[in-house]
A and B are shown apart, each in its own frame.
Chain A
Amino acid sequence: MSDFHKVAPTSEIEEGEIKSFIVESEIVAVCKVDGEYYAFKDECSHQTLPLSDGDIQGEIVTCCYHGAEFNVKTGEALCLPATDPIEIFEVKIENDEIFVKLG
């Protein structure tokens, strides 16, 4: 199993905001929902476009390119044109820093 990677300080991501980071050779989006941080692969499962360009409402992220929607907690695809889930990464907070574990 791979280790946790430091991504950013918690202060960098506001409530209801998504930011994208490069972690090793992977692109990871991190968002804050109801005070909790969630991380997922920054790629829509429909056409590999960045989900971090889209909007987040509650726990639903919407791809700004073709309107696909996903649950950021479970990765589940909620709306066409996406049918496959997005990949979710484990997150931990230590000393006000966000760490992400690539699966």
Chain B
Amino acid sequence: MAIEFNNKVESYVNGLPEFQKTYFKEIPSWLSDIKNEAIKSFSKLGFPTPLDEDWRFTNLAPISRNSFQIASNGISEVNKESIDKFSIPSLDCHKLIFVNGRYVSDLSDIKSDADGIVIKSLKEALNSDKDLVEKHLGKYAEYKNDAFISLNTAYFEDGVFVYVPKSKIAEKPVYVLNISTNEEAQSLVNPRNLVIVEDNAEVKVVEHYVSTAQNVYLSNVVTEFVLGENANAEHYMLELESKKAFNISTLRIQQKRSSNIKSHSILLGGAIVRNNVHPVLNGEGCNSDIFGLYLPKDRQHMDNFMRVEHASPHCDSRQFYNGILDDKARGVFHGRIVVHEGAMLTDAKQTNRNLLLSDTAQIDTKPQLEIYNYDVKCTHGATIGQMDDEAIFYLKSRGIPNKEARRIMLQSFTNETLESMSLEPVRESMENLILEWFEESFANK
């Protein structure tokens, strides 16, 4: 029998015992305890409303008042051809396929790696790499204060597990394709990912979310990224969900001394999308670069929520977010830099630029600094504007047609964030999708 949830928080609380019985044959007691704690937190917190300051511009009523059920496996809808259609062309990678949040080993392709690097499904790692998982899972993404993290922690079934031992470099990126299928009922999936990169190690992880049909579902993702000393990592979030779907994703990064992370979020799909990025720079000399690009149109709503915590001295962080909004779309940028006591010589910069292509598109941008220290360099800035008519006129005066001139302008705007991607095939694939977005936008004008 399907596990169903309605608009009452109790339905989520009551469904957990059945969920654990159905989807975990033998659940370790420590995990069961965490799940029970998490659902208790969710029952206290409930879904956020616009009365919560952090959700002021995003009304979640279409989620909180909706009904969902745990997705079926949906595997019959997916085959090698559909995987090839969704995947990033010419990306040489370890490929992990998840359908409705469940790992499909037959369609995945994990290359053998003799260096002790572990890449597998989290469900499998719960048995095979128990100590590592128990040590890190749920230790950084704070489920006690966040409704969606608590819901994910209680109801996650699977996800990706990556472990890169000391001084090892994962030569190929880890590509995680999450496919939602055409379910009869509105489904809820809770992918949970854990990436552990030890001292002096290096990895690149690409999370890609797609759907086979334009239907309503809730995808609630949590990724915990743990970086050891001098570790280097790059993370990609490619969100191309159904135009009617809800996607809430949280990337929680825990950094040790002199570690570096580069995070890229590209938001293109979904009806209501919330992308939370929360690095904690917890060791001297850390670096955290967060790039984002969001392109809502029609009636899409995209909310970018950043919390960058400088907990140690001599750390640098950069947030660079660009948005292009069309039709009746709505965007939110909420970026907060927190400099803790003692985090001297912090250098933090936050930039958010927005282009509105229609009179009915709307953006709310809210950069914030919270500094409990002195001797720091923190800047923030936000701009909202339209296409520059003078620049378009200049291009036209050089013989470039109007449409081409507009495309050049928009492309240069999106390239400001895309250029930071080191994986060329991912960048090219996103560029092509964005060009299609421009074409559709121009066609409707």
Q: Which residues of A contact B (CB under 8 A)?
A: 20, 22, 24-27, 42-43, 47-50, 87, 102-103
Contact = CB atoms under 8 A, between A and B. Distances in A.
A103 B66 CA distance: 21
Contacts of B155: none
A49 B50 contact: yes
A64 B65 CA distance: 20
A52 to B, nearest CB: 10
Interface string B291-335: 000000001000000000000000000000000000010000000
A48 B56 contact: yes
B50 A24 contact: no
Contact of A22 (B50, B62, B328): B62
A48 B65 contact: no
Given A48-B56, A49-B51, A25 B244 contact: yes
A70 B201 CA distance: 58
A87 B361 CA distance: 12
B246 interface: yes
20 contacts: A20-B61, A22-B61, A22-B62, A24-B216, A24-B271, A25-B216, A25-B244, A25-B271, A25-B272, A25-B299, A26-B62, A26-B271, A27-B59, A27-B61, A48-B50, A48-B56, A48-B58, A49-B49, A49-B59, A50-B59
B57 interface: yes
Contact of B57 (A20, A25, A42, A48): A48
A20 B65 CA distance: 10
Interface of B, secondary structure class, is loop
B245 to A, nearest CB: 8
Q: By CB atoms of chain A within 10 A, which of B65, B299, B328 has the most? A: B299
Interface string B214-253: 0010000000000000000000000000001110000000
A18 to B, nearest CB: 14
A46 B328 CA distance: 16
Contacts of B57: 48
A22 B56 CA distance: 20
A9 B96 CA distance: 47
Given A25-B271, A47-B56, A87-B328, A42 B61 contact: yes
Given A25-B271, A48-B50, A87-B328, A43 B59 contact: yes
A42 B213 CA distance: 27
Nearest to B330: A48
B271 A22 contact: no
Given A20-B65, A103-B328, 17 more contacts: A20-B61, A22-B61, A22-B65, A24-B244, A25-B244, A25-B245, A25-B299, A26-B299, A27-B61, A27-B65, A47-B56, A48-B56, A48-B58, A48-B59, A49-B50, A49-B59, A102-B299
A24 B244 CA distance: 7
Nearest to A23: B62
A40 to B, nearest CB: 13
A48 B224 CA distance: 31
B66 A22 contact: yes
Contacts of B328: 87, 103
Given A43-B59, A48-B58, A87-B328, A25 B246 contact: yes
Nearest to A44: B50
A43 B272 CA distance: 14
Interface string B27-59: 000000000000000000000011100001111
B70 to A, nearest CB: 20
Contact of B50 (A25, A47, A102): A47
A43 B57 CA distance: 10
Nearest to B49: A49
B62 A27 contact: yes
Contacts of B49: 49
B61 A50 contact: yes
A58 to B, nearest CB: 26
A22 B59 CA distance: 12
Q: By CB atoms of chain B within 10 A, which of A22, A43, A47, A49 has the most? A: A22
A20 B59 CA distance: 14
B244 to A, nearest CB: 5
Contacts of B299: 25-26, 102-103
A55 to B, nearest CB: 19
Closest 6 pairs between A and B when the two form their complex, measured CB to CB:
A25-B271, A48-B50, A48-B59, A27-B61, A25-B244, A25-B62
A27 B7 CA distance: 14
A94 B271 CA distance: 28
Nearest to B300: A25
Contacts of B272: 25
Contacts of A20: 61, 65
Contacts of B65: 20, 22, 27
Contacts of A24: 216, 244, 271
